[in-house]
Structure 1
Amino acid sequence: MELHIRLEGRKGLAEQLYQQLRSAIDSGHLAAGTQLPPTRLLAEQLGISRKTVAEAYSRLTYDNLLSGVVGRGTFVSPRRALQASDVEPIALAANSLERWQQRATVLGRSALEAPSRYDFVGGVSAKSQFPFDQWRACMQYALRCSQRHSERQFPAQGLPELREAIAHHIAFARGVHCSAADVLVCNGAQQALDLIARVLVEPGTRVAMEDPGYPPARQLFLAMGADLQSVPVDDEGLCVEQIADGTQLIYVTPSHQFPLGMPMSERRRHALLARAAELGALIIEDDYDCEFRYQGPASDALQRLDRHGLVAYVGTFSKTLLSELRLGYAVLPPSVLRAACVAKHLSDWHSPSLQQWALARFIGEGHLNRHIRRCHDIYAARRERILARLESDLAPWLSAVPASAGFHLSALAAPGVDVELLVRLTRRVEVGVYSLAPFFNDVPVRPGLLMGFGAIERLDIDPALDRVRDALQQLS
């Protein structure tokens, strides 16, 4: 490596070299593990004697700043981590810091917790079914597009070809009424929620959402300073009549209520749209996994019924494809779209262009629809097996909540079942099941389990549920 050393005069050269090297190490310009030039080479570069360099290196080694490795050379030693006692912090004059610091960010499984052998974690798709070969070809196509693309900037709203592909796909799959001009490409559905909240929520803005509901959405609105109202749900979905006056934003999951799973009835959907029109409120429709339906006629998205530009439709490819893609989208009313595009541009310029080109190609060549059909059959078999067990030997303790879409279902616990203890007991036998309790906020908790079937193989379901049954018998 090249060192920037400046020696003045011909006196005290070892001291000068020592001080400059020490300063570079202390400042971080010479990072831990950096190899220094051999004494002979550095002496030649500086025009000084090798003895002078060796003396400076020796002093730095004595100070534990350098260490020699036989046969390899001299390296900067690892530094002690900065301790809290080493600094005198000054309180920052930012009232919003605590509002963000107290927000919870983990959903379902702890980030530090290893997955169980048999894992019913929700929201995780079947990675083993992902068509990696087709995606690889689409990424190669994206690289060729990048070579030919001369513009230095890309639209914050998303590449036109991907927005066009998304508009066609969701019109066919979910009945969403939109064109490419209405679509905003985001880094996952969570960024779509963030952008909508950024442009609509100020401290004190009244926001209504389902209870139980999606914790990251709740935490996001609270971090923005929202006056959050938790609205209970019943068998038909959100209890619309309980939405408070003055509400400006309503967050719902009408096609597959998260986490319980029941769909919002047609009557309730019309009531929700009427209430939003009365309030002048925007509805965020989070349609996170409803391309997978198993029974009954397919219900279109709530957005399809909207006649007044009151619904922001949010979707994601993290559930249908891979969570690692981090690509989602929002279909927004014009005024909200313009503001959200500005917020998107200011926050991250645009979503990754290579992945946008690849996804546009992936959808256009029919890979997405084929993948959804293939996964639908796999998820349906897993779902049927779980339901069969819930209706047979697990019936004394658990009962499934009726649901017709997605790739998780919820099971409510019978009175007397200690769900939190059950979760701990099953964890000991390498089965991951998850309590519904963290999804409740103000309304009383309905004890039960959220059981995802995206991450568990069909042949693993019975051995896993055998262990759950044994744990329930132990509790009884």
Structure 2
Amino acid sequence: MELHISLQGSKGLAEQLYQQLREGIDSGRLAAGTQLPPTRLLAEQLGVSRKTVAEAYSRLTYDNLLSGKVGKGTFITPASTRLAPAGPAIPLASAATLAKWRSRSNLLADLAPSTLRYDFIGGASSKAQFPFDDWRRCNQYALRQIRRGSARYAAHQGLPELREAIARHIAFARGVRCHSSDVLVCNGAQQALDLIARILIEPGCRVAMEDPGYTPARQLFLSQGALLQYVPVDDQGLCVEQIAEGTRLIYVTPSHQFPLGMPMSLARRQALLERAAALGAIIIEDDYDSEFRYEGRPTDSLQSMDRHGLVAYVGTFSKTLLPELRLGYAIVPEALREAICVAKQLTDWHTPTLNQWALARFISEGALLKHIRRVHEVYAARRERILQRLQGDLAPWFEVIPATAGYHLSALTKGGLEVEFLINMARKVEVGLYSLAPFYAQAPVRSGLLLGFGAIELLDIDPALDRVRDTLQTLG
């Protein structure tokens, strides 16, 4: 890659080169540690004599801005990186809009990687369970496919091979009714939510969602200008009868309500579909972690019950595999398909094909189902141990909300226990606990904890909960 230098005329070339390099170094555009081209190479690129380049380099070295390393080359010295002085701030015409975006709190994004010894954070999986050897082999296959292909952009909806693999997998695992043409591959479930919101929401239109609910979805809809209705939930799920007239979009997590955990009853699902049909509203079914089910019979997805093309089913591989892969998908009703493909193209054209090829191979050779079965046993053991403790020595302080799927549990507090105080005290003994309160948009807020068990090892659960119990006993 050539160094960008622009020389004018045929006189004072060494001075021009010196000044441009000096400005690049002083401004920080040329960062400390950057290697400059050899004098002969830069002279050829600029069409000047080698002596001209050597003179500019010599002056910069004298100024302690460059240093030479024998056998390696010429580098910008670390002490030379300086930022250009900032001028007076100019009021931006977009200041009010920027302020709105800064005000969009995102609880999950604000959770920094924990340094605590024990952590019950939700939505995180254990890397110790990830099949790195299988994934490495699939990545090697993906590289071979890319090498054989043309150097062009891929299809907006995703690789046909991956879309076909996803359609087969969710038909088997979740009973979703779809063809590969219905599948849109996304950068995680969050992009799927964003794309659906982009094509359906206009400023002032009404969107209904659960309260408590998934905070990033709430902030996303608000950022699109939606008029949000926060619909309460009970032990059967969303209170469908409270959905207002004029609602255009309904967001739900029916298989494992986020964050409380209970599944939506069959009667409530049917009522929701009927209400959506009467309104002409699209339902987003966020099925984020229900592939891990521990008790009871499987429940039908809303999408499999839909007879009018109103349900957009959103899934993710962040829970079954790793969040860092950024792989998710949406099963899109036919009425939305053309519009959402346009939105996907305008957003990022397509999801990176390397991961797409690798995941297609990973699914088609059965590695995904094998991995899910293996980690299901791991999560089931962790879940059972937490339940035993919550229903045992921790029962005086907590009441578990029944949940049959996923890898977090929620527990309500008893006896006026102050959750935030408990959380702060637990952190002092190296235990990470998390409140349900931030997931509520409106009062009344139910006091309780969200206890994730995806990232905490089985052998760490008892020592962690022992510390919680001892803290609670100390608090009286």
What is the letter of the counterpart of residue 275 of structure 1?
A: R
Identity across the alignment (%):
64
C-alpha contact 1:42 1:53 (8 A) present in aligned 2: no
1:152 Cα deviation after fit? 1.7
Cα distance change of structure 1 residues 68 and 283 upon mapping to structure 2, 3 Å threshold: same
Cα distance change of structure 1 residues 35 and 87 upon mapping to structure 2, 3 Å threshold: farther
1:78 Cα deviation after fit? 3.8
- Structure-1 separation of matches of 2:470 and 2:417: 13
**CA deviation map 1:164-222 (0-9, x unaligned):** 11111111111111111111111110000000000001111100100000000000000
1:212 aligns with 2:215: no
Cα distance change of structure 1 residues 190 and 43 upon mapping to structure 2, 3 Å threshold: closer
- Structure-2 separation of matches of 1:438 and 1:81: 40
* Equivalent of residue 56 in structure 1, options 45, 54, 59: 59
1:428 Cα deviation after fit? 1.2
**Correspondence 1:164-243 to 2 at 5 A:** 164-243=164-243
- Structure-2 separation of matches of 1:137 and 1:441: 45
Cα distance change of structure 1 residues 444 and 154 upon mapping to structure 2, 3 Å threshold: same
Residue 334 of structure 1 corresponds to which residue in structure 2?
334
Cα distance change of structure 1 residues 157 and 16 upon mapping to structure 2, 3 Å threshold: closer
1:156 Cα deviation after fit? 0.5
Secondary structure of the corresponding residue to residue 320 of structure 1: coil
Cα distance change of structure 1 residues 310 and 26 upon mapping to structure 2, 3 Å threshold: same
**CA deviation map 1:336-363 (0-9, x unaligned):** 1211111001111111111111111111
List gaps (5 residues or longer) in structure 2.
none
Deviates more, 1:207-216 or 1:145-154: 145-154
What is the letter of the counterpart of residue 297 of structure 1?
A: R
**CA deviation map 1:276-322 (0-9, x unaligned):** 11111100000000011111111121111111111110000110111
Deviates more, 1:440-449 or 1:249-258: 440-449
What is the letter of the counterpart of residue 230 of structure 1?
A: Y
Residue 80 of structure 1 corresponds to which residue in structure 2?
82
List gaps (5 residues or longer) in structure 1.
none
**CA deviation map 1:47-83 (0-9, x unaligned):** 659996587337744xxxx255797866354433466
What is the letter of the counterpart of residue 89 of structure 1?
A: I
Residue 274 of structure 1 corresponds to which residue in structure 2?
274
What is the letter of the counterpart of residue 79 of structure 1?
A: T
- Structure-1 separation of matches of 2:3 and 2:243: 66
TM-score w.r.t. structure 1 length? 0.91
**Correspondence 1:234-313 to 2 at 5 A:** 234-313=234-313
What is the letter of the counterpart of residue 206 of structure 1?
A: R
What is the number of equivalent residue pairs in this alignment?
469
Cα distance change of structure 1 residues 46 and 410 upon mapping to structure 2, 3 Å threshold: same
Cα distance change of structure 1 residues 460 and 60 upon mapping to structure 2, 3 Å threshold: same
- Structure-2 separation of matches of 1:237 and 1:3: 60
- Structure-2 separation of matches of 1:330 and 1:282: 13
1:105 aligns with 2:106: yes
Deviates more, 1:124-133 or 1:293-302: 124-133
- Structure-2 separation of matches of 1:283 and 1:20: 57
**CA deviation map 1:101-129 (0-9, x unaligned):** 21113417622x53421111111123211
Residue 456 of structure 1 corresponds to which residue in structure 2?
456
Deviates more, 1:25-34 or 1:206-215: 25-34
- Structure-2 separation of matches of 1:136 and 1:344: 28
Cα distance change of structure 1 residues 436 and 68 upon mapping to structure 2, 3 Å threshold: same
1:428 aligns with 2:428: yes
Residue 395 of structure 1 corresponds to which residue in structure 2?
395
- Structure-2 separation of matches of 1:191 and 1:2: 37
**CA deviation map 1:207-250 (0-9, x unaligned):** 01000000000000000110011111011000111111111000
Cα distance change of structure 1 residues 4 and 468 upon mapping to structure 2, 3 Å threshold: same
TM-score w.r.t. structure 2 length? 0.91
Secondary structure of the corresponding residue to residue 247 of structure 2: coil
1:92 Cα deviation after fit? 2.5
Cα distance change of structure 1 residues 16 and 350 upon mapping to structure 2, 3 Å threshold: closer
What is the letter of the counterpart of residue 114 of structure 1?
A: S
What is the letter of the counterpart of residue 56 of structure 1?
A: R
Secondary structure of the corresponding residue to residue 313 of structure 1: strand
**Correspondence 1:34-183 to 2 at 5 A:** 34-35=34-35, 46=49, 48=51, 53=56, 56-57=59-60, 60-61=63-64, 66=65, 68=67, 75-76=76-77, 77-81=79-83, 86-93=87-94, 96-107=97-108, 110-111=111-112, 113-150=113-150, 152-183=152-183
- Structure-2 separation of matches of 1:431 and 1:91: 44
Cα distance change of structure 1 residues 155 and 419 upon mapping to structure 2, 3 Å threshold: same
- Structure-1 separation of matches of 2:420 and 2:263: 27
1:438 aligns with 2:441: no
C-alpha contact 1:14 1:53 (8 A) present in aligned 2: yes
C-alpha contact 1:33 1:78 (8 A) present in aligned 2: no
C-alpha contact 1:13 1:52 (8 A) present in aligned 2: no
